[in-house]
Amino acid sequence: MFTFFQRRPRLRQLLPGGIDAHCHLLPGVDDGAADMEESLSIIRGLQALGLRGAICTPHIMASLPQNTPAYLRQAFEHFQSIVNRQSSIVNFQLHLAAEYMLDEVFPRHLSSGDLLAIPEGTLSGNQKSAASKYLLVELPQYLLPPGWQDMLDSIISAGYTPLLAHPERYLRLLDTQDIRALVNRGIALQGNLGSFAGYYGNRVRKIAQELRANELYTTYGTDSHSARMLSSLRLNP
């Protein structure tokens, strides 16, 4: 007999390249890690799970106007310098991108040409297409913003592949057929690892399992906002 625990996919199956594609461990910039110690605890937790790196994806959205690419690059460089001095953290790769909300300020970010896209090559082994340039984007949880599909088309026109964060969590907005239609239009999907363990509830878990069974995900991430959250995801290494 298979148990719920046994049915959950293992980390090495979903992240064969060992890179967490979505993680809020850059300290003090959004609703993720509040300080440096929290960030270091998340990294140690990821290492304990066998991962070899993470992409820091802080939020860029209208409610966080200070989070410009220039500001986040400076914060990341400072963070990287401190991590490099930690004797307990060795050979853990850190990269910087961002999670863009498709809101009223996003068109301005896109038109600026200064974007924090997923660094090319960092998802090697985790994805279906190594040739794409990915821009991680998200939708509000309760209301589809005006013009959101036009924004996705604009990202594609700019030469990027939109990577939609945790589509399984938009169950109030999109059903699985809607999500499949997005994939058919060229949008890639990033699944949250905790979704498979029921962290966001059973309905989200079932959608995640269906999307994975139909091979619709491109990559996965922990979406960790704290060390406590990471431990609560109940991940199988």
DSSP state of 2: -
pLDDT tens-digit series, residues 137-194? 999 999 999 999 999 999 999 999 999 999 999 999 999 999 999 999 999 999 999 9
- pLDDT, residue 5, reads 39
pTM, 2 dp: 0.95
pLDDT of residue 8: 80
Task: Domains for the chain: give ranges and CATH numbers.
Answer: 18-232 (3.20.20.140)
Q: b/e string for 75-111 if b means 16 or more Cβ within 10 A?
A: bbeebeeebeeeeebeebebbbbbbbbbbebbeebbe
Q: Is the pLDDT of residue 131 over 70?
A: no
What are 165's two structure tokens?
A: 């964060």
Pull the structure tokens for residue 62: 């209208």
Confidence check: pLDDT of 130 > 80? no
